[in-house]
C-alpha cells in the first residue's frame, strides 16, 4: 500500500507554483508519488476557452520529467464528458483499493469545496490537502478545514508553502502582451512555448 497524491487541474499552462505545491505536499505528508492529472472537461471551465489537451499534456510531461516522484496521468483525458473530481477518485479507489489517495488543491478551493460536485464523495475516497499560498491567514484556513472535516467526516489537512504570485491566467495574459514569463514557468515549458509560438505568441 502506498500514498499517492493527485494533482489535478487544467494546467493551461502548468507553472512553477503547481510544481512547488506538489513538492511541498509530497515532502510534508511523505507521499510516495504525485500524479499530475490534466483535466479534460473541468466543470469550472465550462463555456471558457481551454487549450487543446495535447498541448496541456505535453507541457505537463516536460515540466515533471526530471522531478523525482512526479508522474503524468492521462486518467481524466481518456474519459468522456465532464471530469468531476468525485468520479475520478471513486474510479481510482476502485482500481487500487489499497492505495491511500491524497487530493491536492489550492487553499482558495477549500472555501468553495461545499459547492463542488458530491464533496462527500471526495472526502470519502481521499485525504484533502489544501495548500496555503500565502493569500489568507493560517487560522482562517484551519477553521475551514475543521468545519469541512466535521461536516463530511473526512480528513482535511493543510500544507505550508511560500507565497508565489503566479497563475495560468496571468501567464497567458503576459504572453499575449509580450511580457516576460521566464521565472513563472519550468525551464522546459518556457522553452517549448517560446519555440512553438503557443498561447498566441508569434514564433520568431
DSSP structure string for 11-42: -TT--HHHHHHHHHHHHHTT-SEEEEEE-SS-
Question: Is the bond preceding 13 in cis, omega lying within 30 degrees of 0?
Answer: yes
pLDDT at residue number 138: 73
Q: How far apart, in whole angstroms, are the C-alpha atoms of residue 40 and residue 27?
A: 28
pLDDT at residue number 147: 97
Cross-strand bridge partners of residue 122: none
191: enclosing H helix or E strand = helix 187-196
pTM for the model stands at 0.93
What residues contact residue 128 under an 8 Å CB cut-off, 6+ apart? 102, 103, 105, 110, 113, 122, 148, 154, 155, 156, 157
pLDDT at residue number 87: 95
Mean pLDDT per 10-residue section of the chain, whose length is 204 residues: 94 97 98 96 64 96 97 94 92 96 94 96 98 74 95 96 91 93 97 92 52
pLDDT at residue number 132: 81
Neighbours of 74 (CB within 10 A): 14
CA 123-31-8 angle, 5° bins: 55
User: Per residue, what are the HEC states of 73-95?
Assistant: CCCCCCCCCCCCHHHHHHHHHHH
Contact 104/133 with Cβ under 8 angstroms? no
Q: How far apart, in whole angstroms, are the C-alpha atoms of residue 83 and residue 46?
A: 11
Question: What distances in angstroms separate CA 126 from CA 116, 123, 134, 158, 165, one per listed residue?
Answer: 15, 6, 24, 14, 28
Amino acid at each position: 500500500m502506498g500514498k499517492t497524491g493527485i494533482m489535478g487541474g487544467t494546467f493551461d499552462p502548468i507553472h512553477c507554483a503547481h510544481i512547488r505545491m506538489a513538492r511541498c505536499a509530497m515532502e510534508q505528508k511523505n507521499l510516495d508519488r504525485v500524479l499530475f492529472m490534466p483535466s479534460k472537461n473541468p466543470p469550472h471551465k465550462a463555456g471558457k476557452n481551454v487549450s487543446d489537451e495535447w498541448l496541456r499534456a505535453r507541457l505537463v510531461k516536460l515540466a515533471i520529467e526530471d522531478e523525482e516522484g512526479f508522474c503524468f496521468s492521462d486518467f481524466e483525458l481518456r474519459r468522456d464528458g465532464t471530469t468531476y473530481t468525485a468520479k475520478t477518485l471513486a474510479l481510482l479507489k476502485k482500481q487500487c483499493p489499497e492505495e491511500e489517495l491524497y487530493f491536492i488543491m489550492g487553499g482558495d478551493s477549500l472555501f468553495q469545496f461545499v459547492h463542488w460536485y458530491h464533496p462527500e464523495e471526495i472526502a470519502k475516497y481521499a485525504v484533502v490537502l489544501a495548500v496555503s499560498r500565502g493569500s489568507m491567514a493560517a487560522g482562517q484556513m484551519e477553521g475551514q478545514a475543521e468545519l469541512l472535516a466535521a461536516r463530511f467526516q473526512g480528513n482535511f489537512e493543510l500544507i505550508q508553502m511560500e507565497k508565489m504570485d503566479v497563475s495560468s491566467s496571468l501567464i497567458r495574459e503576459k504572453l499575449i502582451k509580450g511580457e516576460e514569463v521566464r521565472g513563472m514557468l519550468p525551464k522546459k515549458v518556457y522553452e517549448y512555448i517560446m519555440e512553438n509560438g503557443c498561447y498566441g505568441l508569434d514564433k520568431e
